[in-house]
Structure 1
Amino acid sequence: MAPTWTWQTWQETTYLTCSLLEAWPHGFFTRQSWPQTPQELTLAIQPQAKPFRVKQVHGNRILSSSEILQHAASQNEVEAVFPDADGLYSDRPCEAVWVCSADCTPVLIADANTGRVAAVHAGWRGTAAKIVPEAIVKLLANGSQVKDLRVAMGPAIAGEVYQVSTAVAAEVGQSILDLASPDIRDEALEDERIVRALMQAPNSPVLADEKADRARLDVRRVNAIQLQQLGLAPAQIAIAPHCTYQDPERFFSYRRDSRRQVQWSGIASVAG
């Protein structure tokens, strides 16, 4: 049965949950919660949990909650500085990990055996650098198994409206070339040929655009393909049926508004 997505309410603030992650307190929040922070929003999903976040920089660095605590201990208490990263995972139960987004993909990951969780901010740069697979690698190195993982991707800009340059589409698309035609795996080939070949793949994440030097890019679909290449089954992956760009009532969208406002997404670890 396909995962279901449900709107929840906390103190007159709505947030989205996914049935695939029902065993873990979690939420994909909307613009309605702005400017509340993870410290405040953790009260909505698990009041006893300790919240963790990072300074997002569009890379592929993943930190553990212990590493974040170590970083915090080295900082001046008067001026806390969050470490640079775009993903984080829990070391123990009752820890809430958070990422923010405003068109990029918020990815929440949970382990049905250990109870551990991860949160990832996957923009096109991070996706090209395989940040979600990097988070999976971190979890596997700490005792997880692929069969136990559950992944939910929250509201983000949809592929049909996300116009990018051919160069960007090719850079992101190269991260999944194992599913594409063998004759385009040569790095020397030009971006246009890579994009054309990707468009011919089944259920392609790269769509045609009316402009010759542009393409439409489904970043969530690219991340789903990357996960399947790691061995996750489609039933272990859920994608929210919401587009930040096309729903201004619920979501901030940097592409639409060019404003630095975000919505937060978080998940709390449980005992395994």
Structure 2
Amino acid sequence: MINTANSSSWQWEKNDQGSYLTCKLLEGWQHGFFSSHFQGKPPEILIKYLHPSALSYRLKQIHSDIIISTDMIDNHFSKNDNNQLMEGDGIITQKSLQSVWVASADCTPVLIADSKSGKVAAIHSGWRGTASEVVPKAIKILKSEGCQGENLLFALGPAISGKVYQVEEEVAVKVLKTIISNSHNLDNNEILTQGYLLPNQPILKDSTENKVRLNVTQIINSQIQQEGILPHQIAISPYCTYQTPEYFFSYRRSHEKNVQWSGIISV
């Protein structure tokens, strides 16, 4: 399923293996939100479709707020012979021609680029990572490394739509607390009530008791803007992983542990 209101900023690229999604906002960087057509192909293979000379970096994702630099990954592998991946859910580049990758199946893949330095980042943010503010943490790290907020660009890739993502109310509360001011002074019902009134519908009512529909991507969008990023610096994919089986895996739909990869290369 496609949200046509957001579709103009996104294009499909095709090759002999299938299709992958790109975002106009990141047109200065080789990148791709790869579809299920590339099942079983890790970043080390996918990189050839973007830039064969680039190095590939990925992590063992654990739904955390841990963000790792490519230098840290290089140092890790230089000291370890077993090739065990570092744990974390975000990677930030330190040099040019470094590709950073995240896997997802309903969670939101976030690709970030700095238009001045060429530095990039890839973040995996499901509801747990969003509740722990992994994307705002990445923004703070990028700023600490010299990036300016006005130069940062964000592409939020295909993820499960809030219209179909049913969660417990307590899950929604944990995520909403990150974007509602003075939430520490509110009880859960007050937080949910405020959540229903927020723009972009981060939560919707559900017919099942103690359940709501949660739009994680819109929560991330709000988190980014609370860091001083303007709306024109953010693009949101119009595709729902759950409702687009011809292109994307969805754990909620199939209950199978298949993933698609999203990656971007620094310049």
TM-score tier after normalising by the smaller chain length: over 0.9
3-state SS, counterpart of residue 175 of structure 1: coil
Aligned length: 262
- The aligned runs of 1:52-91 (5 Å cut-off) are 52-76=57-81, 79-91=82-94
Deviations 1:104-150 (A, max 9, x none): 00000000000000000000000001000111111111110000000
The residue aligned with 2:229 is 232
Deviation of 1:188 (Å): 6.0
Deviations 1:174-216 (A, max 9, x none): 00013xxxxxx35364323211221122333011111230111
| CA distance, structure 1, for counterparts of residue 229 and residue 96 of structure 2 | 24
The residue aligned with 1:241 is 238
| CA distance, structure 1, for counterparts of residue 43 and residue 179 of structure 2 | 33
| CA distance, structure 2, for counterparts of residue 146 and residue 225 of structure 1 | 15
3-state SS, counterpart of residue 59 of structure 1: coil
| CA distance, structure 2, for counterparts of residue 33 and residue 5 of structure 1 | 19
State the TM-score, normalizing by the size of structure 2.
0.95
The residue aligned with 1:146 is 149
In structure 2, relative to structure 1, the CA distance for the partners of 1:45 and 1:202 (3 Å cut) is: same
| CA distance, structure 1, for counterparts of residue 164 and residue 129 of structure 2 | 19
The residue aligned with 1:181 is none
3-state SS, counterpart of residue 184 of structure 2: coil
| CA distance, structure 2, for counterparts of residue 173 and residue 98 of structure 1 | 27
Deviation of 1:99 (Å): 0.2
- Out of 46, 60, 64, the residue aligned to residue 51 of structure 2 is 46
Structural RMSD (CA): 1.4
The percentage of aligned residue pairs carrying the same residue is 44
Contact 1:176/1:225 (8 A) holds in 2: yes
Contact 2:109/2:124 (8 A) holds in 1: yes
3-state SS, counterpart of residue 177 of structure 1: coil
Structure 2 counterpart of 1:142, which letter? E
For structure 2, list consecutive stretches of 5 or more residues without a partner in the other structure: 1-5
- The aligned runs of 1:1-272 (5 Å cut-off) are 4-76=9-81, 79-178=82-181, 185-187=182-184, 189-270=186-267
3-state SS, counterpart of residue 250 of structure 1: coil
State the TM-score, normalizing by the size of structure 1.
0.93
| CA distance, structure 1, for counterparts of residue 174 and residue 220 of structure 2 | 14
Contact 1:166/1:192 (8 A) holds in 2: no
Structure 1 counterpart of 2:264, which letter? I
Deviation of 1:46 (Å): 1.3
Contact 2:177/2:183 (8 A) holds in 1: no
3-state SS, counterpart of residue 27 of structure 1: strand
In structure 2, relative to structure 1, the CA distance for the partners of 1:186 and 1:31 (3 Å cut) is: closer
| CA distance, structure 2, for counterparts of residue 128 and residue 264 of structure 1 | 22
3-state SS, counterpart of residue 178 of structure 2: helix
3-state SS, counterpart of residue 71 of structure 2: helix
Deviation of 1:80 (Å): 1.0
For structure 1, list consecutive stretches of 5 or more residues without a partner in the other structure: 179-184
Structure 1 counterpart of 2:208, which letter? K
3-state SS, counterpart of residue 161 of structure 1: coil
